[in-house]
């Protein structure tokens, strides 16, 4: 039963990583850049939701939607101001700019909201005040946060699959990630598509931020960086650029992390996670679901 | 007149040596007359350490052409092993400079060994996958040092992982105390030691780059398949650059650590790796002088921005973004290239 408990909390943590990793992987797929500022967008989303709910007493759902709107706009503005002028620049220059944006967001948050940790309110409480469901006579406890996280992640996954597969914008996104030049020749507005990708990724980051802080309720300006790095790892794990890959990578990473914490050592769990990543990349150098591109001579 | 006609690279290398020596002499003179502030004086050794870090990372990123996001891991390895050696030898070798040199050598050796072990799996990968694996190794090294306990007594060194199980005999001393790191370090790093390390680094890197091996390494960077097809042993040369880079970073770590009385593993995290990468990219890939200037300037910058107090890191971030935007702006680029005769536009378009 404890095994099942760990598995469920692993899936829940993994779902959060998966949502963040989706943002990384979509941006990487289309703009071929590692957006290191993504983790900090999560933090901004969590802060917006925190202030909306606990200071302005808005209902949680409104807080989440507000956070999504702010993050979406933030993502598009950052893309327009910092990344778009560098579209032709070497990838390292873009990487450093992304790091600059990450510092910028963290320090702005530090100035606006101070470094004092905020305790994130728990939204997921039933009418009678319970925080979870109990199964098998109380042996298996699943909190509502866990349940919601998993459900939301599945919904996002299905919605994104539908979006990229069926809609015009989604098809445009896939076309741009295959070949920008050819996409432009077919009349696709590449700039708008990239902007849209950033918008979706950042909106998802806001949701991830709220879920992350509901599960681990301390909120500081550096909250987003470690989950950001882990989610980035998850995206690579699953094969960067691939949406199902990010989903799978995130889930596996979360499960491995929780199991490493439970069965190996709490302090060394990060080391175990990264060691597994290295082993996977050695066996499958393009990640679990990544496409192995043959080199042309 | 043949000896006077040095080629461009050699001239550039000598200029770099000259400028570093000049900077050292000037700072020494200013220091002896007491006209540099105490905050700058305290930063001289870290600046030297960061310069060595930047040059060594430039070897991986600029010359070998592989992005490494875990360079701080080697620094950490060098710092912890170097300081452990220095503390363990405290009674055996009373002369501080000699102990310092041994500590740097030990740090470099262990970092080189780590670099070799990490290099075996890492160098099989390419591009972003290689970058993420170096990141992973950096985090693993940090995790391990955060949970490592090392003590010394008459019987020698004892180690344990996760909790203090060293069970030292009478008179023994715990050196690395897990998350508390190493405390009570004798501050034996000096600016002169730092300067010497920078010079050694420059000599090593320039000689490597301008050798047959260096040309092979750059050939791999420019076109791996072409290099392989003319018989360049890819793994060997990649490993050579990677291990050299790791060893130098290890020495830098030992130098850095012995400038402080305590050192913890969390000091050498992902952010430190990124910081050094920023030096390298701002200084120019493959440009060692650029790395030196960028490392020195960007280490001083947050201090110089002290008047902005709370806003200094914000200003730093904005400066970073603006510099990247400005240096990659096509209009500015073509404007500056007018002043550089002999450099064709064709190169940039490629």
Exposed, middle or buried: residue A206 (CB in 10 Å: 0-12, 13-18, 19+)?
buried
- At B319, which CATH number? 1.10.3470
Record: contact B128-A268, CB cut-off 8 A: no
Please state, in angstroms and rounded to a whole number, the distance separating the CA atoms of residues A83 and A85: 6
A92 touches chain B (CB under 8 A): yes
Please state, in angstroms and rounded to a whole number, the distance separating the CA atoms of residues A263 and A285: 28
Exposed, middle or buried: residue A280 (CB in 10 Å: 0-12, 13-18, 19+)?
middle
Residue B246: per-residue pLDDT: 93
Do residues B52 and B198 make contact, with C-beta atoms less than 8 angstroms apart? yes
Other Cβ atoms closer than 10 A to B194: 23
Do residues B149 and B85 make contact, with C-beta atoms less than 8 angstroms apart? no
CA atoms within 13 A on the CB side of B266: 4
Read off the tokens for B171: 């008179």
Q: What is the DSSP string of B126-165?
A: -HHHHHHHHHHHHHHHHHHHHTEEEEEETTEEEEEESS--
Q: What is the DSSP string of B166-209?
A: ----TT-EEEEEGGG-B-S------HHHHHHHHHHHHHHHHHHH
Q: For testing the chain A interface, which of B228, B317, B349 should be mutated: the one with the most A CBs within 10 Å?
A: B317
In sequence order, the β-bridge partners of residue B48 are none
What mean pLDDT comes out for the span B44-68?
89
| pLDDT(B344) > 60 | no
Residue B1: per-residue pLDDT: 45
Please state, in angstroms and rounded to a whole number, the distance separating the CA atoms of residues B113 and B105: 12
Residues of chain A with pLDDT under 70: 125-132, 135-138, 292-297
What mean pLDDT comes out for the span B23-47?
80
* Chain B residues within 8 A of A282 when measuring between CB atoms: 121, 124-125
Read off the tokens for A121: 């309110």
pLDDT tens digits, B262-272: 888 888 888 88
What mean pLDDT comes out for the span B223-245?
89
| pLDDT(B131) > 90 | no
Residue range(s) defining the domain that contains residue B191: 2-349
pLDDT tens digits, A120-169: 877 776 656 666 677 666 677 778 888 888 899 999 999 998 998 899 98
B330 touches chain A (CB under 8 A): yes
Residues 6+ apart with CB under 8 A from B59: B205, B208, B209, B241, B244, B245, B248
Q: Which residue has the higher pLDDT, A268 or B5?
A: A268
How many folded domains does chain B comprise?
1
Exposed, middle or buried: residue B258 (CB in 10 Å: 0-12, 13-18, 19+)?
buried
Strand duo A218-219 + B173-177: pairing: unpaired
A281 touches chain B (CB under 8 A): yes
In sequence order, the β-bridge partners of residue B161 are B148
Q: What percent of chain B has pLDDT over 90?
A: 15
Nearest CB neighbour to A85, from listed B139, B277, B325: B325
First-last CA distance in chain A:
55
B320 touches chain A (CB under 8 A): yes
By C-alpha distance, which of A240, A280, A239 is closest to A256?
A280
pLDDT class for B283, splitting at 50, 70, 90?
confident
Searching chain B, which residue's CA lies closest to the CA of residue A269?
B143
Residue B64: per-residue pLDDT: 87
Residue A295: per-residue pLDDT: 63
Residue B156: per-residue pLDDT: 67
Residue B337: per-residue pLDDT: 66
Residue B347: per-residue pLDDT: 42
A207 touches chain B (CB under 8 A): no
Please state, in angstroms and rounded to a whole number, the distance separating the CA atoms of residues B120 and A202: 37
> In CATH, which of 2.60.40, 1.10.3470, 1.10.1330, 1.10.1060 is domain A2-283?
1.10.3470
Searching chain B, which residue's CA lies closest to the CA of residue A236?
B129
Question: Domain spans of chain A?
Answer: 2-283
């Amino acid at each position: 039963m404890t095994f099942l408990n760990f598995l469920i909390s692993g899936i829940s943590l993994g779902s959060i990583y998966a949502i963040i990793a989706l943002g990384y992987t979509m941006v990487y797929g289309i703009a071929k850049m590692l957006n290191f500022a993504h983790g900090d967008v999560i933090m901004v989303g969590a802060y917006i939701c925190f202030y909306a709910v606990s200071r302005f007493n808005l209902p949680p759902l409104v807080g989440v939607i507000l956070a999504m709107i702010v993050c979406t706009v933030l993502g598009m503005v950052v893309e327009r101001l910092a990344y778009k002028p560098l579209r032709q620049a070497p990838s390292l220059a873009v990487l450093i700019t992304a790091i600059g944006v990450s510092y910028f967001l963290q320090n702005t948050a530090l100035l606006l909201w101070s470094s004092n940790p905020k305790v994130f309110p728990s939204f997921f409480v039933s009418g009678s005040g319970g925080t979870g469901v109990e199964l098998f006579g109380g042996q298996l406890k699943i909190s509502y946060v866990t349940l919601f996280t998993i459900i939301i992640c599945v919904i996002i996954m299905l919605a994104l699959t539908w979006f990229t597969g069926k809609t015009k914008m989604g098809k445009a996104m896939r076309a741009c990630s295959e070949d920008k030049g050819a996409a432009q020749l077919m009349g696709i507005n590449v700039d708008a598509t990239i902007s849209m990708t950033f918008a979706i990724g950042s909106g998802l980051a806001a949701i991830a931020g709220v879920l992350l802080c509901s599960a681990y309720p301390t909120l500081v300006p550096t909250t987003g960086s470690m989950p950001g790095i882990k989610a980035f790892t998850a995206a690579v794990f699953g094969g960067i650029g691939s949406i199902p890959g990010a989903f799978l990578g995130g889930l596996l990473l979360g499960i491995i992390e929780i199991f490493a914490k439970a069965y190996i050592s709490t302090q060394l769990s990060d080391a175990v996670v990264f060691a597994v990543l290295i082993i996977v990349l050695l066996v499958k150098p393009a990640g679990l679901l990544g496409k192995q591109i043959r080199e042309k001579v | 007149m043949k000896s006077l006609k040095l080629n461009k690279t050699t001239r550039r290398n000598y200029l770099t040596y000259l400028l570093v020596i000049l900077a050292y002499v000037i700072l020494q003179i200013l220091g002896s007359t007491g006209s540099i502030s105490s905050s700058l004086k305290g930063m001289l050794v870290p600046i030297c350490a960061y310069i060595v870090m930047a040059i060594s990372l430039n070897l991986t990123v600029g010359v070998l052409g592989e992005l490494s996001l875990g360079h701080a891991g080697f620094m950490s390895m060098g710092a912890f092993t170097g300081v452990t050696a220095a503390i363990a030898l405290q009674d055996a070798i009373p002369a501080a400079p000699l102990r310092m040199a041994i500590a740097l050598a030990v740090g470099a050796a262990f970092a080189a060994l780590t670099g070799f072990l990490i290099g075996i799996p890492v160098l099989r990968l390419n591009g972003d996958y290689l970058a993420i694996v170096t990141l992973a190794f950096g985090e693993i090294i940090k995790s391990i040092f955060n949970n490592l306990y090392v003590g010394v007594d008459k019987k020698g060194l004892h180690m344990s992982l996760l909790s203090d199980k060293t069970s030292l005999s009478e008179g023994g001393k715990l050196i690395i105390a897990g998350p508390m790191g190493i405390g009570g370090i004798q501050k034996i790093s000096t600016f002169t030691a730092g300067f010497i390390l920078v010079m050694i680094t420059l000599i090593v890197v320039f000689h490597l780059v301008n050798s047959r091996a260096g040309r092979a390494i750059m050939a791999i960077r420019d076109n791996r398949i072409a290099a392989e097809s003319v018989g360049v042993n890819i793994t060997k040369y990649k490993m050579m650059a990677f291990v050299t880079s790791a060893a130098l970073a290890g020495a830098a770590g030992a130098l850095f650590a012995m400038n402080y009385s305590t050192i913890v593993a969390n000091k050498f995290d992902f952010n430190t790796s990124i910081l050094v990468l920023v030096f390298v990219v701002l200084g120019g890939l493959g440009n060692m002088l650029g790395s030196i200037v960028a490392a020195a300037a960007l280490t001083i910058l947050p201090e110089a921005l002290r008047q902005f107090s709370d806003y200094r890191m914000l200003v730093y971030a904005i400066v970073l973004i603006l510099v990247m935007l400005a240096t990659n702006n096509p209009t500015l680029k073509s404007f500056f290239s007018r002043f550089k005769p002999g450099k064709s536009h064709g190169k940039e378009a490629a």
